[in-house]
Amino acid sequence: MTQADSLDELKVNIREVLNLYLNENEDSKSVFPLPKKKMSGKNIVLAAVDPKIAFSQILRMTRLKRGLSQKQAALLIGMKNLYSYQRLESPKSANPALSTIARIKSVFPELALDQVV
């Protein structure tokens, strides 16, 4: 195995571990900070997060920063039941329609959708 192959394998493993870690903390009260700026350097490996996981984490973080419960956020977004909102914060099922994303963005304009994709 060449050094380049080893580095590629390492990057794949880093992405998998990061996604697993973020996904398992779905019920946690922890809020993960977003990077302050684009980092680069010899000892830094950038790892992309699965878009579903990124969306659910950023939505959750934004809601918690506002001090809102899931029920309060659901009502603000115009969702009739709590379960529909909870699906948005679940990486396993977060796949909102564009109309839902638009409603979320109108309630949470600070939501960083560019970091999701």
Tokens of 69: 């419960």
Q: Are 115 and 80 in contact (CB under 8 A)?
A: no
Q: Are 37 and 44 in contact (CB under 8 A)?
A: no
Q: What is residue 103's predicted lDDT score, i.e. its pLDDT?
A: 92
pTM over 0.85: no
d(CA 49, CA 18): 7
Tens-digit pLDDT profile for residues 13-38:
888 887 777 766 555 666 666 666 66
Cα of 90 vs its chain's centroid, Å: 9
Q: What is residue 73's predicted lDDT score, i.e. its pLDDT?
A: 93
